[in-house]
Amino acid sequence: MTTTAAPPSAAPTPPTPAKRTSVWAKILLVVLVLVVAAAAAFAGLTVGKFLGAGEERDVQVVRSVTGEEQVILVTAGLTDIQEESDSQTFFGLFDIPLSDRTAFLRYEFDAKLGIDGRQVEIEPLGDKRYRITIPEFMFLGYDNPDFSVATEANGILSWTTPEIDILEATEELLTDAAVAEHIEGLRPLLEEQAVTFYTRIVSSIEPDATLEFEFTP
């Protein structure tokens, strides 16, 4: 019986050593990641400013300007003498001679003139430009009133005529027509003060802003 010898087994192949990543490659990768992240952040910030920052600034300006209510622009000291007269009539047909009463009223007060800030309109025009429309000027009240009778001139029969109501006479000093006359006389100063007032507000938010003003007649 013949026995066949088994061929000798092949020697095991030694493992291939793993390749090690260069330290410089790792550093370069980290630097690249940081550069990409910084570029993305800068791009996002730039786009954000382009798309939203300008609009947000416009909103801030509009809210600041229209947030005011009564805005006193000028406090003017007004003084004058006004004549008030009355007389007795004969059954409403004619005045009774020498029954007249005449009083010269002296008035003095500090009139407050300005606008209703809620009616101010502001329109962003782009590129840091705004148009501000100012409503009509109005009487907002007065301080330090002083009303007195400067002198009187009464007829012999003036005792038949009721005395002049000083309170009613002083109220007539502030009729719409009288107020409108005072405002018209002070219009240049009121417009100048309005420009100064709102320029100061807008400049505190947008220092480089350019403003256009329109005034309601």
Give, for 189, the enclosing helix (H) or strand (E): helix 187-205
Distance CA 144, CA 108 (A): 8
Distance CA 130, CA 211 (A): 5
Contact 148, 106 (CB under 8 A): yes
Per-residue pLDDT of the chain (217 residues; tens, 9 = 90+): 444 444 444 444 555 444 555 555 555 555 555 554 444 444 444 434 444 455 777 777 777 777 668 899 999 887 777 767 676 666 667 676 766 777 777 778 888 999 999 899 999 998 889 999 999 999 998 888 777 776 676 667 555 666 766 667 667 767 778 888 889 999 999 999 999 999 999 999 889 999 999 999 8
Length of the chain: 217
Q: Give the pTM.
A: 0.59
Residue with tokens 């007389």: 87
DSSP string, 106-120: EEEEEEEEEEEGGG-
